[in-house]
Amino acid sequence: AQSVTQPDIHITVSEGASLELRCNYSYGATPYLFWYVQSPGQGLQLLLKYFSGDTLVQGIKGFEAEFKRSQSSFNLRKPSVHWSDAAEYFCAVGAGNNNDMRFGAGTRLTVKP
């Protein structure tokens, strides 16, 4: 079964600084990878997804992520963070069917003015 590790529980960055959130997955076949964002007390919103093809994927709100098979990673990046990006971010891996999406424990992002 697949699993996801987000090594960083909490990250603080200054507004305008670059951001990278780490995600490592474990899965035997080609994974379906996702990043979601959650504001406090809200549901999850899909930022971006990777199924196949170009390993650098663009998402909403200026985010991008790069799939690196050799490192089993799918790190999320943003070149310049805005105060509104403060939220919790979840990486998820799916098996391509409807049943089995696994989520990481999440990384909470704080943005300093």
Partner 1 sequence: DGGITQSPKYLFRKEGQNVTLSCEQNLNHDAMYWYRQDPGQGLRLIYYSQIVNDFQKGDIAEGYSVSREKKESFPLTVTSAQKNPTAFYLCASMSRTGYEQYFGPGTRLTVT
**Footprint of partner 1 on this chain (CB under 8 A)?**
4, 9, 32, 34, 36, 41-46, 49, 51, 90, 94, 96, 98-99, 101, 103-106
Whether the CB-CB separation of 24 and 4 falls below 8 Å is answered with yes
The CB-of-9 to partner 1 minimum distance in angstroms stands at: 7
Closest approach of partner 1 to the CB of residue 33, in Å: 10
Of the candidates 81, 104, 90, the one whose C-alpha atom is nearest the C-alpha of residue 42 is: 90
Q: Rounded to the nearest whole angstrom, what is the least distance from the CB of residue 1 to partner 1 in the complex?
A: 10
Where residue 35 falls (left for φ over 0; alpha for ψ -120 to 50; beta otherwise) is beta
- Residue position matching structure tokens 């999406």: 101
